[in-house]
Structure 1
């Protein structure tokens, strides 16, 4: 069997950004083109199930290494437990002198390194980033942060990919606000609910639809306390045709996060021509560079969030203009063909280096 690339990450059938990115790569034909073995290092479920998946993934990887089948290992890495799991794979790759790509996804990676890690964990992070052949950052801002950790020039920026809808049947409603993601503090879900009273004053028919899992009961209780529960609907985790319908019918996508990488929900909204209001964190300002004034808020600024929502709800022409600009940005920077081509060039360059 010919040599190949081993990509290691969470179960692509699961929830979250890494799973979505990996599915996008696979659907675009990247795995077939480069003979990529995908190895699950993590799966949702019980601790026993997670442990068995991790061990089985290690056995698979060791087998491929011992058989000389792997030229490159591409690690889809986040923070905390994800980093610790990928660290083991990274060490094995180093032992077998396999070229390594470390693809950093964790929204809280900087926080994980600076504030949440003990000294030995910081040394582990420094070791991985400094000894990887290539470190991939999701944005130029993250690129600078990662260079500050490893102090090397092996960091490059490759954005997350999104497959543009083949046909858009968007018939947008007038007062539907959409949130997609984990319900909790980091994603700014509670700030979004706190903004609702000021939004309702000017838009009495507005509805906030929250698609995601997490701290649902706490969010529901906050909505009751603020007397906005009639305007907030909790949908659970949304996928497939249900997500497509929401992306094609909502008025605005909202993501007032405190930490992010390059959220797939924003890229999905952009590809569908859905205007976005989101926080000035991670790669979001780069994604929304064409409409920063109208669409970017500071984390925790509930009043500005409400004002920007009201402003966009009141101006149909402005929303249409923003939608066109965001779709054009996707074509130029985030379309899966563009991003896959960048990965292809990276793989080929590493394969050529002896």
Structure 2
């Protein structure tokens, strides 16, 4: 098949920086069996084209990107027709994918990968904060041939809006991120890990306050925090205020290759997000033999209590108690790690590609059946 993927970015020509690793994994796996063209709305300021992960990247660039993206898809369709057009993330990406697909009379798919279905007014985040975006999303998602999402909670959010969703987790590439069996803790401080950009959605304020509670209780730990700082040092200042300097290392951005050894030396991944469609890092941790404690979002919510421990969003006390519980019970920590790894292995990147392939075939057959019905009935 010939596929078009519409993405906001995350496909930098370097393949390491300014990328969304799980997106590159998906593109690479789809490109093994299909001709894949990726239309990135704003990877770079100027329009350009390059090859990456076995696909052709069409960068749209600044200035009316949605209109020009639709035009670019139509132009590529004239060279050889697309069989399906899919957006990864909704919003502008889904608008482009669905509009282009309707114009070209091919199936469209929308994958919910972020905060498209939430409205977190306190931090100015989410695709449902304004009535115009809510109306646009409602129309776009209902016009899509299929809507997918990575985790059960997002599927439930779609159902609440009257939209059927297919659960398709974005899995880990086991060839690039090989499994490592869960292992006993080494002597010394418990090694905690947090992997996320420092921003309001990830709610590191709750995380740091929970860590301060652990320190006050005498828990021996050290937390490594990996991620781009978008808050201009605010979290580092809070850590200092809470007297956590000796308990935390802020490591900044790390590539996937740099992250792996950091993950391997961790005992527990701790997440504090207000919202997650996934997150992928929970799957990566599971493959590396590391269990997760976090707020009840995305995979953390659907895996708890057998393969992760979930606590209420924003609940500092509960997060601290859950971390302390896992660190004080090695058998529990290992049970969580083994259960999480089993789930992540089953739903790896190959599973993701097969799930999307099955949807492509299903939509192609439905499209053929409709065409044959029009021919029999004499409809135009």
Please give the TM-score of this superposition, normalised by the length of structure 1. 0.86
1:145 aligns with 2:157: yes
For residues 142 and 335 of structure 1, the distance between their equivalents in structure 2, rounded to whole angstroms, comes to 19
Gaps of 5+ in 1: none
Answer yes or no: is the 8 Å Cα contact 2:86–2:97 preserved in 1: no
Q: 2:62 aligns with which of 51, 65, 80?
A: 51
Give the Å deviation of 1:57.
Answer: 4.4
Q: 1:177 aligns with which of 158, 179, 192?
A: 192
Q: 1:201 aligns with which of 193, 207, 216?
A: 216
Give the Å deviation of 1:194.
Answer: 0.7
Gaps of 5+ in 2: 47-58, 120-125, 369-380
Report SS of the residue matched to 1:210: strand
1:235 aligned residue:
251
For residues 337 and 289 of structure 1, the distance between their equivalents in structure 2, rounded to whole angstroms, comes to 26
For residues 108 and 233 of structure 1, the distance between their equivalents in structure 2, rounded to whole angstroms, comes to 32
Higher helix share: 1
For residues 15 and 256 of structure 1, the distance between their equivalents in structure 2, rounded to whole angstroms, comes to 26
Q: 1:299 aligns with which of 313, 329, 338?
A: 313
Q: 2:275 aligns with which of 243, 251, 259?
A: 259
Query: What count of residue pairs does the alignment treat as equivalent?
Result: 340
Answer yes or no: is the 8 Å Cα contact 1:20–1:264 preserved in 2: no
For residues 145 and 169 of structure 1, the distance between their equivalents in structure 2, rounded to whole angstroms, comes to 34
For residues 60 and 104 of structure 2, the distance between their equivalents in structure 1, rounded to whole angstroms, comes to 28
Kindly provide the CA deviation profile for residues 125-159 of structure 1, in whole angstroms up to 9, marking residues without a partner as x.
Answer: 1111111100112223222321332x344x21111
Report SS of the residue matched to 1:290: coil
Give the Å deviation of 1:61.
Answer: 1.3
For residues 271 and 44 of structure 2, the distance between their equivalents in structure 1, rounded to whole angstroms, comes to 24
Report SS of the residue matched to 1:262: coil
For residues 18 and 217 of structure 1, the distance between their equivalents in structure 2, rounded to whole angstroms, comes to 23
1:324 aligned residue:
338
For residues 236 and 170 of structure 1, the distance between their equivalents in structure 2, rounded to whole angstroms, comes to 26
1:346 aligns with 2:359: yes
Answer yes or no: is the 8 Å Cα contact 2:239–2:245 preserved in 1: yes
Report SS of the residue matched to 1:207: strand
1:72 aligns with 2:84: yes
For residues 44 and 236 of structure 1, the distance between their equivalents in structure 2, rounded to whole angstroms, comes to 23
Report SS of the residue matched to 1:185: coil
Answer yes or no: is the 8 Å Cα contact 1:175–1:203 preserved in 2: no
Report SS of the residue matched to 2:332: helix
1:284 aligns with 2:300: yes
For residues 84 and 159 of structure 1, the distance between their equivalents in structure 2, rounded to whole angstroms, comes to 22
1:131 aligned residue:
143
For residues 206 and 198 of structure 1, the distance between their equivalents in structure 2, rounded to whole angstroms, comes to 12
For residues 353 and 60 of structure 2, the distance between their equivalents in structure 1, rounded to whole angstroms, comes to 32
Q: 1:94 aligns with which of 102, 105, 116?
A: 102
Answer yes or no: is the 8 Å Cα contact 1:189–1:256 preserved in 2: yes
